[in-house]
Structure 1
Amino acid sequence: MDTTVIQQDIAQADAVNALAEALGPKGLLRDHGDCDRYASDQSGLLGDRPVAVLRPASTEDVSRALAICSQYRIGVVPQGGRTGLSGGACSPQGAVVLSTERMSGVVEIDREAMTLTALAGTPLEAVQDAARAAGLDYPVDIGARGSATIGGTIATNAGGIRVLQHGMTRANVLGLEAVLADGSVVSRLGKTVKDNSGFDLKQLFIGSEGTLGVVTKAVLQLRRHVPQSALALFALPNHAAALACLAAARQRFGTRIRAFEGMWPDYWDFVCHETSLATAPIAGRHGFYLLIEVEAEAAETNEELEMFFAELFEQGLVEDGVLAKSLAEMQALWSVREAVGEVDDDFGHHVNFDIGVSPSDLGAFCDAADAVLATLPDALGVLKVGHVGDGNVHLLVAHNGSSAAEDQVEAAIYGLLREWQGAVTAEHGVGRIKSRWLGHCRSPEELALMRGLKAQMDPLGILNPSALFMPEDI
């Protein structure tokens, strides 16, 4: 008689009982209905019901919980707001979920050092609001700001619309506290801007998707808050003109460029004409659409943007444009770009690629992608929208709904991306959905080093099992 399953069930029950004792009645959920709510994120990948949901209230709680999970060899899936699009927060079979939802709050704002210290479960929007109340700004901004947590944005190295100006999350974290797989706490929460004392260990945890440790607290670098901005939408003949506009904008506005977002005609037509997701603020059909937002240092910034448009128009780089004259008009212009988050129902079955190439290659890569997809009979349409300044495009490819079609589309696009030396994920993380494609943008030597770090820091493989790495890689 095979007693392996029975032994696993007994060990699992013992582990849950030990966790319940360590975390208290508010710190653990085991009811099936409660657990089901934590099984999946927003990626569309369906996770398994977790064995239990851990809800620690402090770093000490996390330390005790991971020590117990390590003792019983129970997999642990760290979760923030579950807003991820790569399946990184989906629960595999036999694992517990560790939610940071009770670890929320701003610990301190230091105006002189321009830093904010927050617990990992604090929503990004709460951090932004606290910083602005102090006359400062935390510049990382994504559409899911109301639900996404600071710990989650750190674990995935979140990007967003302001990367061109302030960089990704990695560039905005000064200090970090994390708990390792065995319960050890690594804490360096200093505010020192210049620290060249050996390895910068916090960088191991930023972007590692909870596979090396669980982030519990962070010191964030704040920026000067400039509440006003000017926003314009330009219609261009092609993507090459967008790159020329970017070079000209950098000359005129420098670091004041807050956002530089691009929309291809296929996306524009879909959200503005084929559906009612957005209203077209510019008439006619053009080869490319560009949204540019600039910090308003002075009252003349709107006029400055108008002059910029006039110069570009004379050069033949833009064909039409509209300048937002009010907050309502700004929201209307942004709604066209942000409609990408609402296309799922209307677009049907599709693969949502979040890929990056050199900004100078972005237009040519998208042309190549269109050509490749045109050869696939099961590829039924494509939408392209993204961040022109950093080479990140969100490529949505519709298909007939079969797994075979999905595999074919992914193989074609990721194969092309490997030729262009791009990244299979630019800002959403690898998670579980893209792990099999990681080798398309990382060399065998890089993958071996990643696996070595994982084996050193999590020798039992309990931290976010099956995320980032394929099971056979660890």
Structure 2
Amino acid sequence: MSDVLQALIDALGEEVVMHGAAVAERATSYWDAAPTQALAVLRPRTTAEVSTALAVCHRFDQPVVTQGGLTGCVQGAVASQREVILSLERMNAIEGIDMIGGTATVQAGVTLQALQEAARAQDLLFALDLGARGSCTIGGNVATNAGGINVLRYGMMRSLVLGLEAVLADGTVLSSMNQMLKNNAGYDLKQLMIGTEGTLGIVTRVVVRLHPLPTSCNAALVALESFDQVTTLLSRLQRDLAGTLSAFEVMWNEYYQAATEPEGHRPPMERDYPFYVMLQAEGADAAADRVRFEILLEDAFETGLILDAVVPQSETERRALWELRENFEAMLAGRKTFLYDVSLPIREMPGYVAETRANIAAEWPEARCIVFGHMADGNLHLFVQPGTDDAEHAVCDEAVYAPLRSRHGSVSAEHGIGAEKRAWLGYCRSEGEIGVMRLLKRALDPKQLLNPGRIFDPA
């Protein structure tokens, strides 16, 4: 047994430190069922135990990889045999909900769905929402600055965090559990942890903002002929729904075709329209909101802005439509697929998609390029299926990322950089920006122990 492993056991106990054969019994991630590789898996129950663990690792120069719900897409939480995993899975308590202040205080291992349900039980809304809600954790959402389907209305995770507690690389506890919307007393230190992927500190507790729970929900799946019509519809809905539009999810035809293949979902409308949009508005006056929503859809149909529409008449029907957008595993099964998450100005999207598809077709003529995304906040997702098992990931990356440079886009809209995208960070961040990132890393983690090799090389 190594010295650092023995020191961790002595400091934390056997029930916190998992090692040996037990480590390999855990899956690497949601996306990879292969056995976990790590020197040990630490499962602390308190911030104090996280502090102790990091202090020991700091003393032994032991690299540490943080894990939450293991749903990340950029290999940010995948460890090597020489790294120690620190999982927040046991820190899963909702410590309190302040109904007057509209806040919740939670531990980092709480799942997104658990927080949503706890807030809903108090007639409150935790607005972050994404397909992995049942597995992803609040700590992971903070570390990656998660986005999802409601960013258009409520912003990304950064907009929902009021305060947090984190442990630095040497075990120092940084507690800034602010519960106010306004606090301009010096630097806002929580921003050093939000979206930095666990490279500057490990988030253990969070104060998040809650909103009043909407009492009306109107949704529809609509079909459109062109991207110009998609953007026109978005503008009209944002104006005429008086700020209640919460989701506007666009699917190019290839996505809809793939999602409604025989092994996938039943198609709720014809499969040959160029664009499909799943939209949703939430308000506080059920009767009036529904009338306004239906009038807007009728007008869009009568003027030729939309070609077809499906309006759910029950919660079951609404969830079935959302499943079409959120549950895409069938189209990935048995196919080599490269997943991408990019952002760029909305006006640039048609040209970007066309150029990217041309790049991919030049490499693999039989490839399938599936495009969909939140779009209203500038975020597109792409599934590239080259149709050959020997396709190189880096070649596909170049095909997808190169067209972003002239369009001032980003190689990551909401998933982060992790280890997978670090070679492409320079495509959307300047040398000066990366230099300041490295400066912060050296200041807070001079030994380069926290999530090393994520975002950029540790050198």
Letter aligned with residue 158 of structure 2: R
Contact 2:253 2:271 in 1 (8 A): no
Please tell me whether residue 90 in structure 1 is matched to residue 78 in structure 2: yes
From 293, 312, 316, give the equivalent of 1:305. 293
* Deviation readout 1:426-464 (Å, 9 max, x if unpaired): 111111111111111111111111111111110001101
Where do 1:68-147 residues align within 5 Å?
68-147=56-135
- Assess, with a 3 A threshold, how the Cα gap between structure 1 residues 169 and 80 changes in structure 2: closer, same or farther: same
| Structure 1 position 195 matched with structure 2 position 179 | no
Alignment of 1:46-445 (within 5 A): 49-272=37-260, 274-283=261-270, 285-297=272-284, 298-346=286-334, 348-377=335-364, 380-402=367-389, 404-445=391-432
State the alpha-carbon separation in 1 of the partners of residues 69 and 271 from structure 2: 40
8 Å Cα contact 2:257-2:271 kept in structure 1:
no
Residue of structure 1 in register with 2:443 after alignment: 456
Partners of 1:36 and 1:422 lie apart in 2 by 39
State yes or no: 1:28 paired with 2:6: no
2: CA distance, partners of 1:443 / 1:411: 18
* Aligned length, in residue pairs: 458
Partner Cα separation in structure 2 for residue 404 and residue 382 of structure 1: 14
Aligned-residue offset at 1:359: 2.2
In the superposition, relative to structure 1, how do residues 311 and 92 fare at CA in structure 2: closer, same or farther (>3 Å)?
same
What residue number does 2:6 align with? 17
Q: Give the letter aligned to residue 155 of structure 1.
A: A
- RMSD of the TM alignment (CA)? 1.7
CA 119–332 in structure 1, closer or farther in 2 if over 3 Å, else same: same
Q: Which moved more, 1:274-283 or 1:353-362?
A: 274-283
- Greater CA drift, 180-189 or 329-338: 329-338
**Other structure's SS at 2:240 match:** helix
Higher mean displacement: 130-139 or 164-173: 130-139
Cα gap change, 1:432 to 1:106, in 2 (>3 Å)? same
For residue 124 of structure 1, report the CA deviation from its aligned partner: 1.1
Contact 1:379–1:405, Cα closer than 8 Å, also in 2: no
Q: Judge which range, 217-226 or 332-341, deviates more.
A: 332-341
- The 3 A distance-change label for structure 1 pair 417 and 42 is farther
What are the superposed Cα offsets for residues 126-160 of structure 1, whole Å, 9 maximum, x if unpaired?
A: 11111111111111111111111111111111111
Give, in angstroms, the shift of residue 101 of structure 1: 1.1
Question: Contact 2:241 / 2:293 at 8 angstroms: preserved in 1?
Answer: no
In the alignment, structure 1 segments of 5+ residues that lack a partner are 1-9
TM-score (norm 1): 0.93
Query: Equivalents in 2 of 1:356, 1:151: separation in Å?
Result: 23
Q: State percent identity of aligned pairs.
A: 39
- The separation in 2 between residues aligned to 1:426 and 1:193, in whole angstroms, is 25
**Following TM superposition, by how much is the alpha carbon of 1:227 offset from its aligned partner in structure 2, in angstroms?**
4.2
Deviation at 1:191, TM superposition (A): 0.7
Q: Distance in 2 between matches of 1:407 and 1:367?
A: 20
- Greater helix share, 1 or 2? 1
**Amino acid corresponding to residue 295 of structure 2 in structure 1:** M
**Partners of 2:33 and 2:229 in 1: how far apart?**
38
Quote the Cα distance in structure 2 between the aligned partners of 1:450 and 1:37: 36
Q: CA deviation at 1:378?
A: 5.9
**Compared CA separation, residues 357 and 177, structure 1 to 2 (3 A):** same
SS of residue matched to 2:318: helix
- Give CA deviations for 1:169-223 in whole Å, capped at 9, x if unaligned: 0000000100000000110102121111222110110111111000000000001
Q: Secondary structure at the match of 1:343?
A: helix
Q: Aligned partners of 1:390 and 1:167: how far apart in 2? A: 9
- How far residue 337 of structure 1 moved from its aligned partner, in angstroms, is 0.9
Residue ranges of structure 2 left out of the alignment (5+ in a row)? none
**Is the partner of 2:110 in helix, strand or coil?**
coil
CA contact 2:259–2:330 (8 Å) conserved in 1: no
Report the CA distance between 1:235 and its aligned residue: 0.6
State TM-score, norm by structure 2: 0.96
- SS for the counterpart of 1:409 is helix
SS in 2 for 1:260: strand
- TM-superposed CA distance for 1:320, in Å, is 1.0
C-alpha contact 2:368 2:387 (8 A) present in aligned 1: no
Instruction: From the superposition, tell whether residues 403 and 124 of structure 1 become closer, same or farther in structure 2 (CA, over 3 Å).
Output: same
SS in 1 for 2:454: coil
Q: Is 2:422–2:456's contact at 8 Å kept on the other side of the alignment?
A: yes
Which amino acid in 1 is paired with 2:410? Answer: A
Quick one: structure 1 residues 403 and 204, their matched pair in 2 at CA, closer, same or farther if it must change by over 3 Å? farther
Q: In the TM superposition, what whole-angstrom CA distance separates every residue of 1:356-398 from its partner, at most 9, and x where no partner exists?
A: 1112322332122222222223661111111121111111111
Given that 1:379 and 1:397 are in contact with CA atoms closer than 8 Å, whether structure 2 keeps it comes out as no
| Per-residue deviation, residues 52-74 of structure 1 (Å, max 9, x unmatched) | 11111111101111011000011
**Is the Cα–Cα contact under 8 Å of residues 235 and 321 in structure 1 kept in the other structure?**
yes
